[in-house]
Amino acid sequence: MNQAIRERTKWFMDARFGMFIHWGIYAIPACGEWVMSQREMTNEEYEQYFQEFDPTAYDPKEWAKLAKRAGMKYAVLTAKHHDGFCLFDSALTDYKATNTKAGRDLVREFLDAFRAEGIRVGLYFSLIDWHHPDFPKYGDRHHPMRNQERYKDAQIDFDRYLDFMHGQVKELVTNYGKLDLLWFDFSYDNMRGETWRATELIQMVRKYQPDVVIDNRLEGSGENHGSIATVEPLICSGDFASPEQIIPPEGIIDENGEHIPWELCATMNNHWGYCNFDHEYKPADMLIRKLVECTSKGGNMILNVGPDAKGRIPKESVQILEEIGAWMERNGESIYGCGISEIPKPEWGRYTQNADTIYAHVYEAPLGALPLYGIAPDRLEKVYYLADGSEMTRGEAWNTVLFQDVAFVSLGANPVFTYPLPDPIDTVLKIKI
């Protein structure tokens, strides 16, 4: 990884926790953002949602306040998803929010609202566009009209599509002030890198937004995370790897074994876009532990919400975010600015670290005193219970002789007793060494 990437991703890696927002006219059929493809709809069939779209409850200020309460430090909105519908006022298409009943630029309102809450802002932009006449259909396994004979001999001008796509990205990077992040999605098969004229695209982006943090999906999102994991990445390699719905076992390293920035993107239920029959939400305690896991492996987590057709974030998502926020309010110090610890993972949970401060995330209660595996007794200066700042006492193991190399702490008054843990989700100890 080079110095430029390290510098521009500094805020991003410190932030650790963000909000992904998948929102568009697909919220009306309400079964996820791939509905057009899954139902093999033509543009004519799908455009009914464009006619109907009327998000009267859209209030990005409320979204921003919710993100803030959840402890999220940045947010990324789908300016355009694969269906080609634009939430922003693009001069290059009529297929945009300004031409719906909403009648206004919904991206601009999002940016204003989140910036006002001090939350960094990013935009998701789909490289795929099912609405554009020059985007491939025949033989493209990611197109709704794939393999339809009638498109077999269709003449498309892919360069015309790329001019359009580059033009839209230029609109986003020139018309909306400073953007903190750009999230391109996605490359596949031979549709990657220079097929998108990626170098030219990123050179243009960097001309207007020199510091914007960019994902790695212009080039790839495959096995080796694209060439971002090479020591001198290409200009279009991006700044961070973007594992989707999976946390890499030990973070992500480049060819030199150096850790590179990465961000887990994850759904709360089993869809990105609003889905009115999917109530399989992951509980807040699970998501908190996933965030801790990402942090402990040097990565971020961007957690998705899919607002409904009116513009409301589902109440289940709101509830989960409030619960995460309550934990973050007390324990955020063990996440923000933290990363991989020098001490190996302990059996009862995880360590995160920020400079000389180590945070023990204790998931599993010990029988007696808690052994701080990897920390020798003479190395330990002080230990606090992070949630309330109270100092903890040195614990003792009964079989001291067997455990001379390990510092013990007690969570209670008695040095040999700890049970039960005060926070069943994740009891965080702040350790000064």
CA 390 to chain centre: 33
- The two tokens of residue 4 are 């430029």
Pick 40 or 194: Cβ nearer ligand H79: 40
Pick 304 or 331: Cβ nearer ligand H79: 304
Of the candidate spans 33-41, 84-92, 349-357, 375-383, the one that interacts with ligand H79 by CB under 6 A turns out to be 33-41
Of the candidate spans 32-40, 64-72, 326-334, 423-431, the one that interacts with ligand H79 by CB under 6 A turns out to be 32-40
The minimum distance between CB 246 and ligand H79, in angstroms, equals 12
Pick 222 or 283: Cβ nearer ligand H79: 222
What is the footprint of ligand H79 within residues 124-143 (CB under 6 A)? none
Q: Which residue has the tokens 């920035």?
A: 261
Of the candidate spans 31-39, 326-334, 346-354, 360-368, the one that interacts with ligand H79 by CB under 6 A turns out to be 31-39
171 lies in the site for ligand H79, by CB under 6 A: no
The minimum distance between CB 371 and ligand H79, in angstroms, equals 40
The minimum distance between CB 386 and ligand H79, in angstroms, equals 32
What is the footprint of ligand H79 within residues 354-413 (CB under 6 A)? none
- Name every residue whose Cβ is closer than 8 Å to that of residue 75 and which is 6 or more positions away in sequence: 18, 19, 20, 21, 63, 64, 67, 110, 114, 119, 120, 121, 122
The minimum distance between CB 265 and ligand H79, in angstroms, equals 5
Pick 87 or 425: Cβ nearer ligand H79: 87
- The two tokens of residue 33 are 């953002």
> How many positions of this chain bind ligand H79 (CB under 6 A)?
9
The minimum distance between CB 373 and ligand H79, in angstroms, equals 36
The minimum distance between CB 311 and ligand H79, in angstroms, equals 19
The minimum distance between CB 301 and ligand H79, in angstroms, equals 13
Pick 46 or 186: Cβ nearer ligand H79: 186
Alpha helices, DSSP H only, in 225-310?
A: 284-296
**CA separation for the pair 399, 99 (Å, rounded):** 74
Pick 32 or 368: Cβ nearer ligand H79: 32
- The two tokens of residue 408 are 């013990």
Smallest CA-to-CA distance from 24 within 157, 144, 124 is with 124
Pick 38 or 174: Cβ nearer ligand H79: 38
- The two tokens of residue 364 are 């599993």
Q: Are residues 181 and 121 in contact, defined by beta-carbon separation less than 8 angstroms?
A: yes
Pick 38 or 56: Cβ nearer ligand H79: 38
Laid out side by side, the sheet with 299-305 consists of 213-214, 181-185, 120-126, 74-80, 17-21, 299-305, 262-266
The minimum distance between CB 34 and ligand H79, in angstroms, equals 4
Q: Which residues pair with 17 in a beta bridge?
A: 301
- The two tokens of residue 368 are 């007696």
The minimum distance between CB 127 and ligand H79, in angstroms, equals 11
**CA separation for the pair 430, 409 (Å, rounded):** 11
Q: Which residues pair with 383 in a beta bridge?
A: 431
Pick 215 or 254: Cβ nearer ligand H79: 215
Which residue from 34, 158, 384, 417 is in contact with ligand H79, where contact means CB under 6 A?
A: 34
What is the footprint of ligand H79 within residues 252-281 (CB under 6 A)? 265, 272
The minimum distance between CB 132 and ligand H79, in angstroms, equals 17
The SS3 assignment for 429 reads strand
Helix axes 315-331, 60-70, angle to 10 degrees: 40
Pick 240 or 327: Cβ nearer ligand H79: 240
Smallest CA-to-CA distance from 263 within 290, 302, 226, 224 is with 302
What is the footprint of ligand H79 within residues 179-238 (CB under 6 A)? 185-186
Amino acid sitting at position 18 = G
**CA separation for the pair 373, 344 (Å, rounded):** 8
Pick 2 or 38: Cβ nearer ligand H79: 38
**CA separation for the pair 20, 266 (Å, rounded):** 9
**CA separation for the pair 259, 340 (Å, rounded):** 9
**CA separation for the pair 3, 9 (Å, rounded):** 10
Which residue from 15, 33, 227, 407 is in contact with ligand H79, where contact means CB under 6 A?
A: 33
Q: Are residues 407 and 358 in contact, defined by beta-carbon separation less than 8 angstroms?
A: no
The minimum distance between CB 258 and ligand H79, in angstroms, equals 26
Q: Which residue is nearest to ligand H79, using beta carbons?
A: 34
Q: Which residues pair with 125 in a beta bridge?
A: 80, 184
- In the complex, which residues of this chain contact ligand H79 (CB under 6 A)? 22, 33-34, 38, 185-186, 244, 265, 272
